[in-house]
A = this chain, B = another copy of it.
Amino acid sequence: MGITKTEYFSTQQNELANILKALAHPARVAIIDYLLSVDACICSDIVNELPLAQPTISQHLKELKNAGIIKGSIEGKSICYCIDEKNIKILREYFDSILSSLRNNVKNCQS
């Protein structure tokens, strides 16, 4: 159906899935890569850097922003984007907690 039954799951599970979904596209991973390489910002530069049309980049940036992975500030007629640390930390802590939990495992399958 293409419709996710979000009401069946916890708020935490839905929020985590939403943050992960924002990063689950190579173009958006590439945007993060680029943002890291230039420290911060320069929005139209992303359009020049990636082989995608401007409306497509704009859409990807919107999704990253809505998920709280990047933030943008208006600077005259252009918009400066940079990575928002907060949700990245949440993700690192999530995967860290999975690994910690695995270390305490008693049972396991496959040798």
Contact = CB atoms under 8 A, between A and B. Distances in A.
Contacts of A21: 21, 24-25
Given A13-B30, A23-B20, A24-B17, A85 B102 contact: yes
Contact of A109 (B14, B16, B80, B98): B80
A45 B61 CA distance: 39
Given A26-B14, A85-B99, A88-B98, A106 B4 contact: no
Contacts of A92: 92, 95-96, 99
A55 to B, nearest CB: 13
B105 A39 contact: yes
A32 interface: yes
B106 A39 contact: yes
Interface string A34-76: 0010111100000000111000000000000000000111010
Interface of A: 4-6, 8-10, 13-14, 16-18, 20-21, 23-30, 32-33, 36, 38-41, 50-52, 71-73, 75, 80-83, 85, 88-89, 91-92, 95-96, 98-99, 101-102, 105-110
